[in-house]
Amino acid sequence: MKTVKDKVAAITGAGSGIGRATAVLLAKRGCHLALSDVNPQGLAETEAKCREHGVRVRVDRVDVAKREEVHTWADEVAREFGAVHIVINNAGVALGATIEDTRYEDFEWLMNINFWGVVYGTKAFLPHLKAVDAGHIVNVSSVFGLIGVPTQAAYNSAKFAVKGFTEALRQELEVEGGSIGVTCVHPGGIKTNIARNARVTVRRGWTDERSSSDFEKAFATTPERAAEDIVTAIHKNRRRQLIGGDAVLIDFMQRLLPTLYQRVLVAGMKRRRRKMMSAAT
Q: Is the pLDDT of residue 131 over 80?
A: yes
Count other C-beta atoms under 10 Å from residue 240's C-beta: 17
Half-sphere exposure of 112 (CA within 13 A, CB side): 12
In the set 104, 120, 155, 261, the catalytic residue is: 155
Residue 269 pLDDT exceeds 90: no
* Measured distance CA(79)–CA(255) in Å, rounded: 44
What are the beta bridge partners of residue 245?
none
**Where does 52-156 show beta strands of DSSP type E?**
57-61, 86-89, 95-96, 135-140
Structure confidence by residue, pLDDT tens digits, 202-239:
666 666 666 555 555 666 799 999 999 999 999 999 99
Q: What's the CA gap between 21 and 25, in Å, rounded?
A: 6
Cα–Cα distance, 256 to 259 (Å, whole number) = 9
Q: Contact, 154 vs 107, CB < 8 A?
A: yes
Instruction: For residue 120, indicate whether it is catalytic.
Output: no
The residue ranking higher by pLDDT, 213 or 75, is: 75
Q: Give the residue from 14, 69, 77 showing the smallest Cα distance to 45.
A: 14
- Is the pTM value of this prediction over 0.85? yes
188 φ, ψ to 5°?
Answer: -85, -140
Q: How far is CA 192 from CA 113, 182, 202, 212, 217, in A?
A: 17, 24, 22, 12, 11
Ranges of H-type helices in 140-257? 153-176, 211-216, 223-236, 245-256
